[in-house]
Each structure stands twice: as structure tokens, then as C-alpha cells.
Chains A and B, each alone.
Chain A
């Protein structure tokens, strides 16, 4: 049997980013169905436009309007679209040099198959129906073999009513998380309401929770040692701000607890005692709830407080 635990883990962020003047004009332009580039120090028209010169790093601000049709400079056929990509059916990734631009823009090309795509082919933008001022306002490119190619970049002031000044880009990554051997053993013991640390074979210290290595000796901890269940509060803080999605009334106490037999304090909430009566040296024990994989909180045991000297090395 495998002793190693795994669990699904989703990491998700809605990144909110502010835009500089060039990015703001470009993305607002997309909303209005026009494409702006920026003239670089060497005269090239850079699309999508950047705020600083790609070669000299000078600030560049001279905007020009380029065409909405262009030429494929390289492409790659994607037979299996993935989550978040512009199209859900097989498509070509393309770099497109828009008419009037000197650099290419990355996007998707909606084409029936790889035989319908070649470098040098003419394409045009297919605009998204709903546009917010984002690169995805370009839904994709589509073949446009008969479109004319002549387009001279025209100066553009970059002024728009209600310019877009920021974007929110959701990002999500999915994992199958594994904590490794030592932490799996710890979690499995916790499920049986036991707290099991691991001992360093070199310095003999017992780490709880174990992370697989002794941070002093740099060697694997190798012996499981049951500690607690009782322990001593070594230090604590009073939490006054309610955490989102956490159903605990504030104020409450969060403490470092040195379990009996452990050489490292773990941390947990202290309950069943008024927050302003918690003190260093308080003796506590875990409180388990039905079906939980870890203690809900620790409560006073009623024993006399521990002597400071007995836990001062663990603060």
C-alpha cells in the first residue's frame, strides 16, 4: 500500500493589473475595433505596442494605427486545444504581422486544418462580440486571402472616451498535491487522533510536524515518535480580524504549543478559555471533533502552568 497521501489542489488568482499609457491605448483600441502600434526608436512599428523600446529601453509613446489584416510570419497547428486558449476546436497558433507593423502579434487562427495554413498567408482579425479592452477582444484571426495589403500606419493620439486603465486576468492551475513521506505519516497519524513527530538521527531532536529533514543537521528524520497529546503554550497572539471563510468569533488566541516530547512548537488555536486569560506556560490539550483530520483547537488541561525554564528553548 502507498503510505503517501495525495489531494487535489487548485491555485486560482484574479490578477488585477494597471496599464501604462501605451498598453491602455492599445487595449482600449481593441475595444473600439482598431489596432494601435508604437513607433520604436529605430522607426519600426511595434505591435502589440510596448512602453519601452525593445532594444534601447527608451520610453516610447508615438502611437500609430495599423491595419486589422496581416500576414502570418510563423504558425503551429494545435490539434488539442487546452483550457483558456482562444478556440475550443483545433486551430493554428500564429504570429501575425499586421499591415503597417514591423513586428508580429501572437494569437489563434481559425482554420479548417493544417493544410489550410501557411506562412505568408493573409489573415484578418475576427473581433469578439463582447469587448472589454483585453487581448481577447480579438477572438482570433481568420483566413482572408483576397483582402488588400496596403495600409500605411497613421498617427493616432491614443485618446479615447472611457479608456481602459486596468485588466483583471483570472489564472487557475490544477495540481495533484503530495506532501511526501514524512508529512503523509504525520497526517495519517493525526487522522487517528495521534500526533507523531520524527526524530533526527544526529541531534536527536523531535520535529512536529515533521518535514522530512532536520534543519540543523540537514539529514532525513527517520524515527517516528508519538508526542503530546498535552503541551505548553510557549507564546501566543490575539487575533482581532475575522478571516474570510473562517467561522471563528474574534477575538481569539492563536498560540505556539510545545507538545510534551517535541523539540519544536506547532501552532494552533486556543479555545474554552477567555482570550485575555491565555498566558505563556498554560498547559493545553487537543480537542477533536468527529471525523476531523486534525484537532479543532486546544483547551486548558487545568494543570499548573509550566515553569518558564521548561520551555524557554522552544520559544
Chain B
């Protein structure tokens, strides 16, 4: 049953009081098994990397915010131990979300908008190898009606994939093709069914990894990097938690977040989608209007996306970081980055990032270009 349209709020946050930019992005290698390192040992080189990119010391950062889940590795309060890698003593201004790091970035962005901070360090990490991530993720589900059935993350994504096939929006072979493209390789055999219609090739690799970004406001951002990736809009929305209440073939929350972030005002040249399962990319492309001829020039997931590496809790932040890095490198002028959380794209975040106009290139993409 379709979600009734919601009335957009009157005051979009995108006309923000301050300009805030991503000025640095770093990520670890994403490995199948990181038993060699604790969370902080995995994270620390990434933190040092982004600080070195900006020339900032940990002491210079006004606000630190992280995203992670202790359930992944079964390590209670791992996020407090990860803070050792930041240099958290004497005490720093710090916060944590039990969510993907993209939502930690949202909190840090708001903190800077309020004027409470000029700079922020945002990081996220996921260590899935100690546990069974398909089982771990069942614990985020409705504890009364759903979690007692232990439906794993692949099963729920497979229900969504079947709904797309039934609706004629995907065919049973397409998902694996998407996956092969995203991984940059030739079309490979789609693999065995994990939970049909999803095959191994449609599912994200289970990896451990970490990522970090540095945010800065206005002139501070300009001082720290040659080409800041300005956050022009950032919004996140959630859908009803009942899977059977939602239309699994659509993502109204993504569409609304994109509207509120100003994504539809001008087409982006680059899009980073956080679609852990290949079929979910179909849903996101529709919600973000990326399938029409007007989007033919848009580069979708040049990084490879979550099908190439999906460190849970960091993969969404990595989408924002990858998009920002392309702007910083001059490979993009306007990028859309998306992050998701929960089963079947339950909660979605959309960011619109832009670089300053470049001399001699005609600047940013214009409507209809």
C-alpha cells in the first residue's frame, strides 16, 4: 500500500546560516577478518590520515561524533574504547550515535550550524567478522512481532527484491548485473541463491572497516583544503517500521530527504548510493529520479558502492566521503550522497555536495546540461 504523501515542512534546512564543508575523507582497507586489530587499532590510522590531510591536530577539533554498533563485534562500550584513538583526555566535546556514521555527520553538521563548533571530526567503524552479521541485524527489528522470527538481513532484502520483480521494476537477472558493474569487474556468474531471488553476487561482502571525515565551516574550510565539498543540503527521513505497511518497491523517505536537501533543484554529476543489496539500487534510482535521459551523464557509484565494500555502520559515511573526495579532486562539481539504515531501506539520508566554481570550466552543471 503506498505511503500517503507527507506535506514538506515549510523551512528547508538547506538555506543554512553557515557554509559547512567536508574537507577531508579517509578510510581503512576493508578486510574480511580483522582479528589482528581491535576497533581502536583499526580506526587510528584513518583518524591520523584525515587529520594529516587538514594539518589539524586532535586538540584543534571542536566536536567529535562517531557512529558504530557494539552488537557487531559483541564488544560492550567499544565506542568508548575507540575514543582512545582520538585522544579524548583531557575531555573533549564528543557524541556517539548507534547508527551509521552518516548520521554522526548529520549531528556534527548541526553542531557547526548552531555556531557551537568550527570544525568537527566524524568517524565510523564496523567490525562484523567476530559475529554473524545476518543474525546480529535481526536484533534491530520490531521486538514483538518480527525479531522472534529471526528474519536475517538477506531474507528481508529478498522480499523487497521479489516485490520489485513482481512489479516489473527489476527482472530476476538484473540485480547480479548491477552488482558486477559496481564491483568494476566483468559480469561474473551470479552465484548461488542465498535467499532467492538474491544470489551471492547481489549481497554485500561482509567486511570490517573504518572511515572518517573532517567538517569545517566557511573560511576555516577554505583554509584547510583547496576545494571544500560544501554541504548544500542534508536531510534524513524514516518510514513506518512495519515491513508490511510499507511499499517495498518505493522509497518515499529517500525522495522526501532528497527534496528537503535540494537534490532536485539541479541534477548532480555524481551520485553515491548506499545500496547494500543490488535490488535496492533499483529502488533508490527511482526515488532519486536517476533513470531518465536527463540523468544519462550522471556517474552512479564510481566508488563501487556498498556492493564493493560494506563495512556496516561506516558504509553510509563512506558514500558522503567518496562524493566529497571527488569534489575535492575536481572530478565532480555537484554530487548527491545517500546513506541508509535499517531493513529494506527503512531510513535514508541524502546530502547534496558542491565544489566552488572552477575557473575556465564554466563552473557547475546547469539545468538541462
Binding site for B on A (CB under 8 A): 2, 4, 6, 9, 11, 15, 17, 19, 23, 27, 42, 44, 46-48, 50, 54-55, 73-79, 82-86, 93, 95, 97, 102-108, 114, 119, 134-136, 167, 169, 171, 173-183, 211-220
Q: Which one of A27, A136, A177, A179 lies within 8 Å of B149 (CB-CB)?
A: A136
Residues in chain B near residue A23, CB distance under 8 A: 144
Cα A6 to Cα B139 with chains together (Å): 24
Q: Which one of A17, A78, A167 lies within 8 Å of B195 (CB-CB)?
A: A78
Tell me whether B149 and A216 are in contact (CB under 8 A). no
Tell whether A134 pairs with B148 under 8 Å between CB atoms, given A77-B196, A211-B84, A219-B44. yes
Tell me whether A76 and B149 are in contact (CB under 8 A). no
Q: Which one of B44, B143, B147 lies within 8 Å of A220 (CB-CB)?
A: B44
Residues in chain A near residue B116, CB distance under 8 A: none
5 nearest A-B residue pairs (beta carbon): A180-B38, A218-B87, A104-B244, A76-B158, A84-B150
Q: Can you report 22 A-B residue pairs in the complex whose CB atoms are below 8 A from each other?
A: A11-B74, A15-B143, A23-B144, A48-B244, A55-B4, A76-B155, A76-B197, A79-B195, A84-B150, A85-B150, A86-B149, A106-B243, A135-B146, A171-B147, A173-B74, A173-B131, A173-B135, A173-B136, A175-B130, A176-B131, A218-B85, A219-B87
Cα A46 to Cα B89 with chains together (Å): 51
Residues in chain A near residue B44, CB distance under 8 A: 212-213, 218-220
Residues in chain B near residue A217, CB distance under 8 A: 87
Q: Which one of B134, B143, B198 lies within 8 Å of A17 (CB-CB)?
A: B143
Tell me whether A77 and B145 are in contact (CB under 8 A). no
The minimal Cβ–Cβ distance linking A49 to chain B, given in whole angstroms, is 9
Q: Which one of B47, B86, B139, B155 lies within 8 Å of A93 (CB-CB)?
A: B155
Tell me whether A48 and B149 are in contact (CB under 8 A). no
Which chain B residues in 78-115 approach chain A with CB under 8 Å?
Answer: 81, 83-90
Tell me whether B135 and A82 are in contact (CB under 8 A). yes
Closest to A217 in B: B87
Cα A68 to Cα B52 with chains together (Å): 62
Residues in chain B near residue A17, CB distance under 8 A: 143-144
Residues in chain A near residue B40, CB distance under 8 A: 180, 211-213
Tell whether A212 pairs with B41 under 8 Å between CB atoms, given A4-B36, A95-B243. yes
Tell whether A54 pairs with B243 under 8 Å between CB atoms, given A6-B35, A86-B149, A93-B195. no
Residues in chain A near residue B41, CB distance under 8 A: 180-182, 212-213, 220
Tell me whether A82 and B150 are in contact (CB under 8 A). yes
Which chain B residues in 40-71 approach chain A with CB under 8 Å?
Answer: 40-41, 44, 47-48, 58, 71
Residue B188 at the A interface, CB < 8 A?
Answer: no
Cα A6 to Cα B33 with chains together (Å): 12
Closest to A114 in B: B196
Tell me whether A119 and B166 are in contact (CB under 8 A). yes
Cα A295 to Cα B194 with chains together (Å): 47
Tell me whether B84 and A106 are in contact (CB under 8 A). no
Residues in chain A near residue B6, CB distance under 8 A: 55
